[in-house]
Amino acid sequence: MLGSGSAGNSALVATNHCRILVDGGLSARQLVLRLEHCGVVPEQLDGVLLTHEHGDHICGLEVLCRKFDVPIYCNSLTREAVRYDNSFGRHRNWRVFGTGADFSICDITVQSFPVPHDAVDPLGFVFHAGSGSLGFITDLGYVTKLIVERLRLVQTLVIETNHDEKLLQNDTHRPWPVKQRIQSRHGHLSNTAAANVIEELLSGNINRVVLGHLSRDCNAPELALKTVRAALAKHGRLDMEIHCATQFEVTPRFRIGETSPGPFQPTFENAFFQNAL
C-alpha closest to that of 52 among 81, 26, 72: 81
Q: Smaller CB distance to Zn ion: residue 15 or 138?
A: 138
Binding to Zn ion (CB under 5 A) within 31-60 occurs at 54, 56
Distance CA 57, CA 51 (A): 8
Q: What is the DSSP string of 219-253?
A: --HHHHHHHHHHHHHHTT-TTSEEEE--SSSPPPP
Minimum distance from CB of 262 to Zn ion (Å)? Answer: 38
The secondary structure of residue 73, as a DSSP letter, is E
- Map residues 88-107 to x or -, x wherever contact with Zn ion holds by CB under 5 A: --------------------
Distances (CA, A) of 229 to 128, 140, 209: 27, 21, 11
Count interface residues toward Zn ion (CB under 5 A).
3
Minimum distance from CB of 31 to Zn ion (Å)? Answer: 16
Q: Smaller CB distance to Zn ion: residue 106 or 168?
A: 168
Distance CA 73, CA 61 (A): 12
Minimum distance from CB of 49 to Zn ion (Å)? Answer: 15
Minimum distance from CB of 237 to Zn ion (Å)? Answer: 28
Binding to Zn ion (CB under 5 A) within 123-162 occurs at 139
Distance CA 22, CA 74 (A): 10
Q: Smaller CB distance to Zn ion: residue 6 or 133?
A: 6
Minimum distance from CB of 10 to Zn ion (Å)? Answer: 11
Residue ranges binding Zn ion (CB under 5 A):
54, 56, 139
